[in-house]
A and B are shown apart, each in its own frame.
Chain A
């Protein structure tokens, strides 16, 4: 525990960060260690190359998009706080948190999870997944498996299925609603699965402490 505290003390504004993201101190420490490990040059900031150095991430078809999601537009680097904030999207939705309308939507709410996923598609940040954007994602995910023709049919079908206002693009609202019940559940589930990362952090940490 001593190490936890000492690590925590190294992080500025850690209280605020925990408050904001809902991570426990153990989480934060775990993530901080990881951050340090990624930050090879010890600048306190991560650059895209640092993420790129993660081998398995390089194999991930949408890895670059996810890396991109860590960087706010125009920024070249990401510091620990934003790093944690981004990862906080993947925390499980906490059901117990009282609904407080005055509070801003917690970052791990279902909506923000979906928003995050949406932004992975929406690379030009115009609030819409255009056909071209969808195609890009599909192409990277399916690579050689299908012909371009097929890709396009899939993309068309997808948009057509989701597109409620007939603008040939999927807006966030449509993204949320299209698969009315099940997909939401799916995303929810997966959003929750995403939390497994952090949850594992927790359990890892617990194990570490037990040792």
Chain B
């Protein structure tokens, strides 16, 4: 490995990075990438042992492993896809119950045993074994990187003291058990509590957070410390015990400190670097995940290069950069990073466990020594317990929430040894450490015992002890606020009491972070955002998603039905538009982003198109809304607030909504439009009753229409008609303010029209139509929430183009080439009407499926078009039409 690290490729890595100018990010990245990519590639070549090993095992194993992982409860508890039936893992999957009882690592070991057995049977000889290079360069980094990156930083630092202490004490415990250098070595490696095993078990058991983070953090750092200690002892062993003098022990300690602190520093430096780089990746989102991986891995390699603790370096790089990077990179990158890391870590973990299984089968690899094994088991247990008790005793002196006995029991019991210990012991050099075979055997047994026995029993134990479980609750904005307030409060109290306690330093750090670090490392746009606001948005998104996910189910979204809100009067007048809205009595469309949009030509076209269609395709049924007046200001405000909340969620919604939307579409009928209805509604798809809501002609009432409608059940296709004559248009709609969209054109953003509501107030008589036939029934509250989200989503969905005058468009419109031309519609007198000559025809709608559908070309539809009748007549016709349409569909 050392030779590998000193190879030109690797050693040049960090420097190529440092020497490249940051401003030319792309070249740097590509060079980074290529160099990094080449390094692993060159690695197997330089290590001929590895390549034969890698290819057969990895290719055959990975597929089965991955699928086995996928079948594990961690990923999906309900799938048992036919694909899986072919791989061994499905053996473990035969019972749902089985997977819930047996932890993942147990199954992996069993799988390894089976595979190892097969291999042994066929080849009579152990073909595959763990190589140091593979382990240290590929497997370990992935595991540690994953753990480091996703370590909840705040909790971690809150409990840092505990973790550090438990670490060192537990490690030293193990040293006590043997005097020999080899045993020291062994003690070091066997004391490693495996984070993955612990994680898997604890996650399943849902122990409370404090306990979880302590054990997890401990095992993570333990990993690092173990590896460091392991290397130190390794060097001792290499020198030979007889040559080790007292001074060397101190040197060992010193080098331990240097190695770990140095590693940490390297990690932090890379964290800062990574955070800084991600500041500038706005245009190249695609490389963000790559950057994260590369830099974290680079931190690892660099530390390794200087023989510092690579694990610590990686861990701290992950922890350090997490906050800034997460804020800088896009949501998608975040997801990518998350799942890729998790997947990689799982794969690495799995490979190690399988190796464990394989080598357990091969008897030639290990020598049984009952004394050693039983002693080790007992010692491990006793020392773990002792260590925990001692250290909690010390800790409780400082801690505010003391760790009680139950916690201690679980902590000591949770000391699962796992892959890392095994890997380390396998990597021992048999020539230097004659007792290697014994150690291997013992380690295997220990791992088996801890993972199998303790892993299986810890759940009942936790149940039996009634350990406070983690409440699986989503964070609420209240918590967030109160938490901050409490932090401030405690800092203040410390100040008053004249103490420089934990909160004092925390506060100082936060100041520093806010004033310097964040400024340096965060994008400007991000920096200005408040964390609380982010949380708020996240919560909203989550709620909205859950509402949508639940679909037609009776909701759990009581929250979204927005109980009550404070008085609207207290809303500040933010923009002129909002003022205008308010003056008009509209509480509806306060979505600022919407308001700020200047509807563009395209939108306008769409609106025209829509009106055109609306006037002819819609079949309305009128009904006076009885509950028009029962809507209080409050509800409006609710909506208002909700809408504003939704601004940020558009992205998330789009997809879901898409699905839903098309679904709905199938069911809904095409509706006709009523001529003399309210103006502000252009088109909207809504889940509602087939109830027509004619709006009172007074402006103000009309403005509220949107929110109120949403309480109905079913789908509504509401259309707004554009003034028929060109004369009218300029008056009512100053050049292209019309915003409208046809639902069929842009399902994700059907209700663009809604943005215009405020402006349109004065336009006057346009109809709102809802079809009777709409059958979609959705519980009212759900619906309301749904609609709210949709409407705000929609408002965002289509970016506004520049405003253009209406008519110039006409000449350039693709109208003539549009499919519509060939439809019967075109032969209608309407063709010459102003309507047709409007830009609306050039809109994408024309090419939309709707238009090309038989519906459009049917004579039915063209009839109302042709007539453009007075109200009563139209009504009749519409009725007729609707029947026909219904039958058609």
Contact = CB atoms under 8 A, between A and B. Distances in A.
A179 B400 contact: no
Contacts of A13: none
A194 B471 contact: no
A199 B400 contact: yes
Interface of A: 31, 34, 37-38, 51, 54, 56-57, 59-63, 66-67, 70, 87, 90, 92, 117, 120-121, 130-132, 135, 137-138, 141-142, 145-146, 148-150, 152-163, 166-168, 178-183, 185-201, 203-204
Interface string B560-573: 00111111001110
Given A154-B536, A190-B486, A37 B563 contact: no
Contacts of B511: 59
Contact of A148 (B476, B491, B532, B574): B574
Contact of B564 (A142, A168, A188): A168
Interface string B485-516: 11111111111111101111001000100000
B641 interface: yes
B477 A166 contact: no
B251 interface: no
A131 B565 CA distance: 9
Contact of B482 (A70, A146, A159, A183): A183
B432 interface: no
Given A120-B485, A163-B564, A149 B477 contact: no
A22 to B, nearest CB: 15
A166 B563 contact: yes
A130 B564 CA distance: 13
Nearest to B397: A203
Nearest to A59: B511
- In this complex, the member of B475, B485, B492, B571 whose beta carbon has the largest number of chain A beta carbons within 10 angstroms is B492
A138 B565 CA distance: 17
Contacts of A178: 476, 478
A159 B476 CA distance: 11
B431 interface: no
A4 to B, nearest CB: 17
Given A145-B529, A154-B477, A156-B565, A196 B497 contact: no
Contact of A66 (B481, B489, B566, B574): B489
Given A150-B530, A160-B564, A193-B502, A117 B479 contact: no
B864 to A, nearest CB: 44
- In this complex, the member of A168, A182, A191 whose beta carbon has the largest number of chain B beta carbons within 10 angstroms is A182
Contact of A153 (B496, B499, B564, B641): B641
B533 A145 contact: yes
B528 interface: yes
Contacts of B486: 117, 186-187, 190-191, 193-194
B260 interface: no
A90 B490 contact: yes
Given A149-B644, A156-B565, A197-B501, A57 B482 contact: no
Contact of A34 (B498, B559, B570): B498
Interface string B457-490: 0000000000000010101111101111111111
Contacts of A87: 493, 496-497
A200 B497 CA distance: 10
A154 B532 contact: yes
B592 interface: yes
A184 to B, nearest CB: 10
8 contacts: A60-B492, A62-B492, A120-B485, A149-B644, A196-B503, A200-B501, A201-B499, A204-B499
Given A87-B496, A178-B476, A183-B482, A149 B502 contact: no
Nearest to A142: B530
Contact of B400 (A137, A149, A156, A189): A189
A182 B645 CA distance: 24
Interface in B197-215: 210
Contacts of A135: 570
Interface residues of B, number: 62
Given A87-B493, A152-B571, A204-B499, 17 more contacts: A62-B489, A66-B488, A66-B489, A67-B496, A90-B493, A120-B485, A130-B566, A146-B532, A157-B539, A160-B563, A160-B641, A182-B479, A186-B482, A186-B486, A197-B493, A199-B398, A203-B397
Contacts of A138: 481, 532
Contact of B572 (A37, A149, A194, A204): A149
Contacts of B592: 149
Given A160-B562, A199-B398, A62 B485 contact: yes
A200 B499 contact: yes
B401 interface: yes
Nearest to A137: B485
Contacts of A199: 398, 400
B478 A146 contact: no
B376 interface: no
A183 B476 contact: yes
B392 interface: no
B741 interface: no
Contacts of B528: 145
A148 B496 contact: no
A117 B641 CA distance: 27
Contacts of B638: 160
Interface in B506-560: 507, 511, 528-530, 532-533, 536, 539-540, 559
B562 A154 contact: no
A189 B401 contact: yes
A150 B533 contact: yes
A197 B486 CA distance: 13
B86 to A, nearest CB: 43
Contacts of B502: 193, 196
A153 B530 contact: no
A134 B381 CA distance: 52
Given A150-B530, A192-B400, A158 B477 contact: yes
A159 B401 contact: no
A153 B536 contact: yes
B567 to A, nearest CB: 8
B487 A190 contact: yes
A54 B497 CA distance: 10
Contact of B496 (A51, A145, A195): A51
B490 to A, nearest CB: 5
Contacts of B567: 131, 168
Interface string B779-806: 0000000000000000000000000000
A49 to B, nearest CB: 14
Given A149-B574, A150-B530, A161-B476, A62 B564 contact: no
B473 to A, nearest CB: 5
Nearest to B514: A145
Contact of B532 (A142, A191, A193): A142
Interface string B564-594: 1111001110100000000000000000100
A146 B533 contact: yes
Contacts of B565: 156, 159-160, 168
Contacts of B475: 182
- In this complex, the member of B479, B482, B570, B641 whose beta carbon has the largest number of chain A beta carbons within 10 angstroms is B482
Nearest to A148: B572
B476 A179 contact: yes
Contacts of A167: 564
A75 B478 CA distance: 31
A118 to B, nearest CB: 10
- In this complex, the member of B481, B502, B511, B637 whose beta carbon has the largest number of chain A beta carbons within 10 angstroms is B481
B478 A183 contact: yes
B497 A193 contact: no
A117 B481 CA distance: 12
B209 to A, nearest CB: 8
B466 to A, nearest CB: 15
A194 B493 contact: yes
Nearest to B643: A153
Nearest to B208: A185
A61 B571 CA distance: 23
A82 to B, nearest CB: 13
Contacts of A190: 483, 486-487, 490
